[in-house]
Amino acid sequence: MTILKYTPIREIPKIRETLRATFKAGVTRPLEWRKHQLYQLARLAQNEADAICDALNKDLSKPKLEVLMAEVGAVVERATKSAEQLDAWAAPEHPDVPDWQKGWKPTLHKAPRGTALIISPWNYPFILNSQPLMGAIAAGCCAVLKPSEVSPHLSQLVTDLLPKYLDPSAYRVVNGAVSETTKLLELQWDHIFYTGNSRVARIIAAAAAKHLTPLTLELGGKSPVLVDSAYDMRLAAKRILWGKCNNAGQICVAPDYILVPRSKQDEFVEGLKEAYKTFFPDGAIGASHYGSIVNESHFNRLSSLLDRTKGERITDVFEGRKDTARKRIEPTVVKNVQDDDPLLEEELFGPILPIVPVDSLDEALAFINARPHPLVLYAFTEDPNVKQRLIDETQSGGLVFNDTFQQLAVNELPFAGVGQSGYGYQVMKYTFDTYTQLRSSIDIPKEAEPFLQLRYPPHGPEAVKALSSAVHLSIPESAPSGR
């Protein structure tokens, strides 16, 4: 039985044309219309919560509470708050200018970019479709959603529900895999918002470049965790294991590997065991609050990594059981992992926790800096000097001290990568800004004419002096050291 109905390729250009006509007709411009669509998206999430949980259970065995917290609840809250804050976000701004320009009424208009394409992955598919969509709605854009074929139940559900809640002349879903997405990417869009892996991101960026389309890339990578020797190893272990177990490690911000002082490695492992026993008294394999690996190919990829690692697998407490039929892998801890280990090659995106022992903070920083900039850098430390060194001497999309995963609860901070982990910003106002062009305008009154006389040729000595006065501005003293 086919779960997901792919969109016929010949229909894709027509869908785009419909949306472009809607945008051109100004349907999406009024703020009250946008607010209604945002509230409708919140209603979709709230009313259909059971169906969403059910679809994600089928696709990923995702525990219901995880779905309600991280996907459904977040969409209800953020869509509602976006509607409530829209008037403030969309209001024109008047920047402060020198007195002689004030009469020109310098203004920043918040102009919608047009019709957007949103391409989303399978791991948190409800929120990762809805979140970029709510920014597009708020900004007054039309949008096509291209959900992932890897989570077919959820993608089909969103396809069925969207037209019941949102205006189908402005928001449509295209389903499919590479051929359908390739067709979408041949067409011109006014913004593309891609969430997924960095290999496909390169394909998207090349396609966007052909049309000079602005692009947001929300990618992943290996997010390290650094544990300072003075920190409470048991607390760090508990908070790290919790972050790793969400969606069985299949989240872009999952702690990927842990840099621990060599002398504290065993104490840290004991902390992990203690936390694991409390989270999963009978092991994770059959627990209803633990998810599955999305498909056989990812299950085999993770199994192969565990077969190839040269690190020491912890087998006490962490039994590392696998259930091939249900595609489940228990959280697996590997210690004494060396620099060239297969576990350190690519983003793990699964429930494997490699521990890399280090002899100093300098060694840990060098280890992090020798790799592409991660999406998140986690650090367990209460030492202000260590915190400042991490801020000054590393690069990452975000920086989280003394916890994992919890940064996703803060609506007011932008979520973004840097370098290989992506570019562009999202969440709430930041997503609105992504789809908004800051369109500047001035309006010079007739009465300004006497003040503009000097600019007209021919220019006498007095005009030359006045018009070139900026050249002679006094520049403050400074020194190469910055002091």
Smallest gap from residue 153 Cβ to ligand NAD (A): 14
Smallest gap from residue 198 Cβ to ligand NAD (A): 7
Write out the binding residues for ligand NAD, residues 411-430 only, by CB under 6 A. 417, 422
Residues 6+ apart with CB under 8 A from 117: 143, 144, 146, 184, 185, 189, 191, 192, 193
Task: Give CA–CA dist 48/57, Å, rounded.
Answer: 14
- Among residues 48, 71, 180, 218, the one annotated as catalytic is 218
Residues 6+ apart with CB under 8 A from 80: 38, 39, 42
Nearer to ligand NAD, 320 or 351 (CB): 351
Q: Active-site residue 252, yes or no?
A: yes
Smallest gap from residue 397 Cβ to ligand NAD (A): 8
> ∠ CA 65-126-324 to the nearest 5 degrees?
65
Smallest gap from residue 252 Cβ to ligand NAD (A): 3
Stretch that binds ligand NAD, among 67-75, 116-124, 156-164, 377-385 (CB under 6 A): 116-124
Pair 64, 57: CB distance under 8 Å: yes
DSSP 148: -
Q: Is position 410 an interface residue for ligand NAD (rule: CB under 6 A)?
A: no
Residue nearest to ligand NAD (CB): 220
Single out the residue of 86, 62, 59 nearest to residue 72, CA to CA: 62
Q: Is position 156 an interface residue for ligand NAD (rule: CB under 6 A)?
A: no
Stretch that binds ligand NAD, among 70-78, 141-149, 321-329, 448-456 (CB under 6 A): 141-149
Q: Is position 209 an interface residue for ligand NAD (rule: CB under 6 A)?
A: no
Stretch that binds ligand NAD, among 23-31, 145-153, 301-309, 335-343 (CB under 6 A): 145-153
Nearer to ligand NAD, 162 or 358 (CB): 162
- Helix or strand holding residue 334 (H, E): strand 332-335
Task: Give CA–CA dist 302/327, Å, rounded.
Answer: 11
**Of the residues 25, 91, 97, 177, which one makes contact with ligand NAD according to CB under 6 A:** 177
Nearer to ligand NAD, 28 or 123 (CB): 123
Q: Is position 200 an interface residue for ligand NAD (rule: CB under 6 A)?
A: yes
Q: Is position 203 an interface residue for ligand NAD (rule: CB under 6 A)?
A: yes
Tell me how far CA of residue 437 lies from CA of 141, 247, 434, in angstroms.
Answer: 11, 36, 8
| Size of the chain, expressed as the number of residues it contains | 483
Number of residues that bind ligand NAD (CB under 6 A): 29
Write out the binding residues for ligand NAD, residues 438-477 only, by CB under 6 A. none
Smallest gap from residue 177 Cβ to ligand NAD (A): 6
**Of the residues 91, 178, 409, 467, which one makes contact with ligand NAD according to CB under 6 A:** 178
Task: Give CA–CA dist 371/391, Å, rounded.
Answer: 16
Would you tell me how many other CB atoms lie within 10 Å of the CB of residue 388?
A: 10
Residues 6+ apart with CB under 8 A from 246: 66, 70, 254, 405
DSSP 169: T
Single out the residue of 44, 128, 125, 139 nearest to residue 82, CA to CA: 139
Across 282-297, b (16+ Cβ under 10 Å) vs e yields ebbbebeebbbbbeee
Nearer to ligand NAD, 304 or 360 (CB): 304
- Helix or strand holding residue 173 (H, E): strand 171-173
Nearer to ligand NAD, 37 or 151 (CB): 151
Smallest gap from residue 206 Cβ to ligand NAD (A): 10
Q: Is position 252 an interface residue for ligand NAD (rule: CB under 6 A)?
A: yes
Would you tell me how many other CB atoms lie within 10 Å of the CB of residue 386?
A: 21
Smallest gap from residue 147 Cβ to ligand NAD (A): 6
- Among residues 141, 142, 245, 252, the one annotated as catalytic is 252
Smallest gap from residue 339 Cβ to ligand NAD (A): 22
**Of the residues 4, 52, 86, 119, which one makes contact with ligand NAD according to CB under 6 A:** 119
Residue 438 half-sphere exposure toward CB, CA atoms < 13 A: 9
Q: Is position 195 an interface residue for ligand NAD (rule: CB under 6 A)?
A: yes
Q: What sign has the CA pseudo-torsion 295, 297, 303, 305?
A: negative
Write out the binding residues for ligand NAD, residues 293-352 only, by CB under 6 A. 347, 349
Write out the binding residues for ligand NAD, residues 366-405 only, by CB under 6 A. 375
Quick one: CA torsion of 120, 431, 116, 109, rounded to 10 degrees? 180
Q: Is position 128 an interface residue for ligand NAD (rule: CB under 6 A)?
A: yes
Nearer to ligand NAD, 265 or 434 (CB): 434
The set of catalytic residues is 218, 252
Contacting residues toward ligand NAD, per CB under 6 A? 119-124, 128, 146, 148-150, 177-178, 181-182, 195-197, 200, 203, 218-220, 252, 347, 349, 375, 417, 422
